[in-house]
Amino acid sequence: MNLLKEKIRSGAKIRGSLVCLTDPCMCEIMGRIGFDCVWIDTEHSYMSDRDVLCHLNAARASNVASLVRLPQHDLTTTKRILEMGPDGILFPMVTSLAEFNELMAMTLYPPLGTRGFGPMRAIGYGADDAKEYVTRGQLDLCRFVQIEHIGMIEELEEIAKNPYLDGFIFGPNDLSGSLGEFLNVFGETTMTAIRRAIEIARRHGKCVGLAGGFDEATIRTWSELGLDLLFAGADWNFVYSQGKQVLDTLTKQM
């Protein structure tokens, strides 16, 4: 059962947060809080493959959907994560149609793609039929690409035609950098590019998401775009901000 795919098919709004720290308790806590999806990050964090597997097990036990952001264009890591059976994967920093096609092929078995055979957790370590997984099960995986470069938006019409792609997730910080206005994510140039990409994605029936900050004003601004998925903050954000707030209170009282 793919929790993320079910939520997408039902048209539900998906509210999530990033998990970057290695302890799988972080996924459990996110599930207990009530987030719909945890974004397990391997692009900017220092997680090992073992850490990712533990997070996926914790997410499943907590009944929260899992999305793993892969390292940039890394075939070996992509294969290993696929064999772990996440609900979804996310390719970061895609800049062109040609790169997108190569990455998507990594996720699909021949004749649809170039993925090598070797599923493990993805087939319950043998509990599920491997041939059934190859023919149908592989299509349950949610496939997302991150829009972080204007080059991808320029070719988005063609990219969005791919039938195995579930949707796009914006990385507004890097997108603004590709537009010459690094970190000016709410500037007119970046916001215009985002709205243009959303319009294209919608015409092709693709989901649209974004990962941003976690203060109320930022969440409100992004939610006004009518997104399907919104990821706000990360585990380390929450630990630091709440810890700082408690320390400030202690300092005032003592």
Q: What spatial distance separates the first Cα and last Cα of the chain, rounded to whole Å?
A: 52
Rg (CA), the chain: 18
What pLDDT is recorded for position 188?
97
Domains (ranges, CATH) in the chain?
Answer: 3-253 (3.20.20.60)
Q: Per-residue confidence of the chain (254 residues) as pLDDT tens digits?
A: 799 999 999 999 999 999 999 999 999 999 999 999 999 999 999 999 999 999 999 999 999 999 999 999 999 999 999 999 999 999 999 999 999 999 999 999 999 999 999 999 999 999 999 999 999 999 999 999 999 999 999 999 999 999 999 999 999 999 999 999 999 999 999 999 999 999 999 999 999 999 999 999 999 999 999 999 999 999 999 999 999 999 999 999 99
What pLDDT is recorded for position 105?
98
What pLDDT is recorded for position 1?
74
What pLDDT is recorded for position 234?
98
What pLDDT is recorded for position 169?
98
Separation between Cα atoms, residue 88 and residue 44, nearest integer Å: 18
What pLDDT is recorded for position 232?
98
Whether the pTM exceeds 0.85: the reply is: yes
Q: What are phi and psi of 69, to 5 degrees?
A: -85, 120
Which amino acid does the sequence have at 57?
N
